Amino acid sequence: MKFKIAHTNFNVMDMDKSVQFYKEALGLEEVRRVEPEDGSFILVFMGDGVTGHQVELTYLRDREEPYDLSDNEIHLALVVDDMDAAYQHHKEMGCICFENKDMGIYFIEDPDGYWIEIVPEKR
């Protein structure tokens, strides 16, 4: 028996804002979208075009209060080939929320408060 990672889910309050953030901040593109006729939810799967792992953004129509992310210790990590350019881009976007210079990593925060770790490519 062998398992492989399919996707990571983040529930969002504003689908358009979230899709735009993931496109602008990380270069992810919409792979597919699920919208039932009753409009009760929207699923948008975002991919990097390289790996099969996707980020599933879930919007629930009847959700009114922001999601409780607790201590935000659960996060998504992405590897980048040009750490300096990524850092500058995210700094200009104003979405860097934590830096660990000793480890050479930093985190950005999406519109719903989820943290995303940015890791340099190992060479």
Instruction: Give 2 or 57, the one with higher predicted confidence.
Output: 57
Domains present along the chain, CATH in parentheses: 7-64+72-120 (3.10.180.10)
Name the band, by pLDDT with cuts 50, 70 and 90, for residue 123: low
Q: Work out the mean pLDDT of the chain and round it to a whole number.
A: 94
The Cα 66–Cα 72 span in angstroms is 14
Return the bridge partners of 8, or none.
55
55-109 pLDDT per residue, tens? 999 999 999 999 888 777 788 999 999 999 999 999 999 999 999 999 999 999 9
Mean pLDDT across the stretch 36-63? 97
Active site residue 35: no
For 1-123, strand residue ranges (E) read: 7-12, 29-34, 41-47, 54-60, 76-80, 96-100, 105-109, 115-120
φ, ψ of residue 112 to 5 degrees: the values are -100, 5
* Per annotation, catalytic residue among 73, 109, 117, 121: 117
* CA-based nearest residue to 20, from 83, 115, 119, 112: 112
